[in-house]
Amino acid sequence: MFAETEEFAARLEAMDELEREAAYEAVMRWFAENSEKITHHAHLAPAHTATTVRLDGGGPVVTDGPFVEGKEVVSGYAEVEVADLDEALKLARSWPACPVVEIRPIA
Amino acid sequence: MSGPDDDRGSREALARVVREHAGRLAACLVSLLDDFSAAEDLVQDAVETALRRWPVEGVPERPDAWLLTVARRRGLDVLRRETNYRAKLARLRWPEPGKADDRLRLIFTCCHPALSPEARIALTLRVVCGLGTAQIAAAFVVPETTVAQRITRAKRKIAVAGIPYRIPAPDELPERLGAVLAVVYLLFNEGYLSSTGDRAEARDLAGDAEWLAALLAGLMPGEPEVAGLLALIRLHRARGAARFDSGGRLVPLSEQDRTLWDHAAIAEATAALTRAARAHRRPGPYQLQAAIVACHAEAAGFEQTDWAQILVLYDMLLAVAPSPVTRLHRAVALRYVKGPAAALAELTGLEETLSRYPLLHATRAELLRALGDTDQARLSDERALGLTANPAQQALLHRRLDPAHGDVRYG
Domain ranges within chain B, ordered by starting residue: 1-96, 323-411
pLDDT tens digits along B228-285: 999 999 999 999 889 888 887 888 899 999 999 999 999 999 999 999 999 998 899 9
Contact B270, B231 (CB under 8 A): yes
| A97 vs B: CB within 8 A | no
The Cα B66–Cα B61 span in angstroms is 9
Whether residue A105 and residue B162 make contact (CB cut-off 8 A), yes or no, is yes
Domain ranges within chain A, ordered by starting residue: 2-101
For residue B118, the model assigns a pLDDT of 92
Q: Which residues of A touch B161 (CB under 8 A)?
A: 85, 103-105
Would you tell me which residues 63-92 of chain A have a C-beta closer than 8 angstroms to some C-beta of chain B? 82-86, 88-90
For residue B79, the model assigns a pLDDT of 78
Instruction: Tell me: pLDDT of B151 over 90.
Output: yes
The Cα B261–Cα B235 span in angstroms is 10
For residue B10, the model assigns a pLDDT of 75
**CA distance to partner chain A, nearest, from residue B283 (Å):** 27
For residue B195, the model assigns a pLDDT of 46
Among B294, B291, B300, B191, smallest CA distance to B256 is for: B300
Contact B172, B163 (CB under 8 A): no
| A56 vs B: CB within 8 A | no
Which comes out higher in pLDDT, residue B256 or B7?
A: B256
Q: What number of CA atoms fall less than 13 Å from residue B154's CA on the CB side?
A: 27
Instruction: Tell me: pLDDT of B322 over 60.
Output: yes
CATH of B323-411, one of 1.25.40.10, 3.30.420.10, 1.10.3720.10, 1.10.645.10: 1.25.40.10
Residue A83: CB partners within 8 Å, gap ≥ 6? B162, B164
Name residues of chain A where pLDDT drops below 50: none
Confidence of residue B196 (pLDDT cuts 50, 70, 90): very low
Q: What number of CA atoms fall less than 13 Å from residue A5's CA on the CB side?
A: 8
Whether residue B112 and residue A85 make contact (CB cut-off 8 A), yes or no, is yes
Query: For chain B, what is the mean pLDDT?
Result: 89
- Please tell me the pTM assigned to this model: 0.86
> To the nearest whole percent, how much of chain B has pLDDT over 90?
67
Q: Which residues of A touch B168 (CB under 8 A)?
A: 86
pLDDT tens digits along B354-365: 999 999 999 999
Residue B77: CB partners within 8 Å, gap ≥ 6? none
Give the DSSP letter of residue B260. G
Task: Indicate the fold that domain A2-101 takes in CATH.
Answer: Alpha-Beta Plaits (3.30.70)
SS3 at position B353: coil
Confidence of residue B5 (pLDDT cuts 50, 70, 90): low
